[in-house]
Amino acid sequence: MKERVLITGASGFIGYHLIEEALKQNLDVYIGIRKSSRTDHLKGFDIKYTYPDYTDLSSLKKDLRENKYDYIIHAAGATRARSQKEYNHINAGYTHNLALAVLESGIKLKKFVLMSSLAAVGPLNSLTGIISEGTAPHPITAYGRSKLLGEQNLKAFSSLNYNILRPTGVYGPWDSDIFIFFKQVAKGIEPYIGRTEQKFSFLYVTDLAKASIKALFAGNHKIYNLSDGNFYDRYELAASIKDVLNIKTVKLHLPVNFVKVIARVSEKYSSLSNKAVVVNTEKIDELMGVNWWCDIEQANAELGFYPEYNLRAGVAETIKWYKTNKWL
């Protein structure tokens, strides 16, 4: 009999790849989504649907008792919100309620894997050094603070078997965020904010999916930083895109203060429509972080996580998908 996994937030970019990898590993996959979620891209998968209400503890316990999951990958969350309160409600509150429901439901859950983010730690302020699992967290965005709070909420349940994953900048097929930069470069424009020297790290989405499934079966009460293991300067993502597309571009270095003014105007405009803006002033600070390079030795040693894709290989696969699906 197949072991059963619940993947929350599975209708999104990362969720799609989590489903794909879980099925490859012969797991019986249930996906927890909103009834309003778009699911037409999931029709080819042999999966079952459930609609958890993370604000209702009794309904969560009912779902858990009925479906008796062996594992949970909690990837549901908000990457855009209008306030710190809203981020905390979704990214930390939902985590707390789901973990509490697991314990109160009495199901014999083998592992709860939380999809956090390297944003929960924040960047280093110097090009020297590397972010490890022991680096003191100093998140610089409301999103990062909410992800750190979600981690702390999960850690409070010491009787629960859990692991926490902190992926860095994730890209690949179905991504629509970093795609914005891909699209600009494809048009011949490389936009940058200021001229600060930086170290970035990236992770191709299928490598993240493999690490997530591995974390179901190894480690306990552990945090794992995840990237492809390399660091890249601020121009290397565009260089890889240009290399694959065989194009030339014009670099635009926009003044930091000018970009922040534009972001503030965008924030005010979006607040009138009661929507979360894609790029706000905090996102600018995140993009301006000096050093996002992270150590993945713990994931290597304990999960057997060895990324298949470096940036150049991942970009090539991503562009191939964008072209096939007419995004580019």
pLDDT (tens digit, 9 = 90+) per residue, 56-109? 999 999 999 999 999 999 999 988 888 899 999 999 999 999 999 999 999 999
Q: Is residue 244 part of a domain?
A: no
Residue 273 falls inside a structural domain: no
Number of domains composing the chain = 1
* Structural domain boundaries, residue 218: 4-171+202-228+293-308
Q: Check pLDDT > 60 for residue 277.
A: no
| Contact present, 84 and 134 (Cβ < 8 Å) | no
Is 8 within the bounds of a domain? yes
Burial class of 36 by CB neighbour count within 10 A (0 to 12, 13 to 18, 19+): exposed
- What residue type is assigned to position 214 of the chain? K
> pLDDT at position 276, please?
61
Please report whether residue 250 resides in a domain: no
Under 8 Å between Cβ of 50 and 6: yes
Euclidean distance between CA atoms 96 and 139, whole angstroms? 20
Q: Tell me the pLDDT tens digit for each residue of 109-146.
A: 999 999 999 999 999 999 999 999 999 999 999 999 99
More confident residue, 69 or 260: 69
pLDDT tier, 251 (very low <50, low <70, confident <90, very high otherwise): very high
H-assigned helices in the chain:
13-24, 57-67, 84-87, 94-105, 142-155, 179-186, 205-217, 236-245, 256-272, 281-287, 297-303, 311-324
Does the residue 133 lie in any domain? Answer: yes
Report the CATH number at residue 214.
Answer: 3.40.50.720
pTM of structure: 0.93
* pLDDT computed for residue 105 by the predictor: 96
Asked if residue 264 belongs to a domain, the reply is no
Residue 248 counted as domain residue: no
Residue 69 resides in a domain: yes
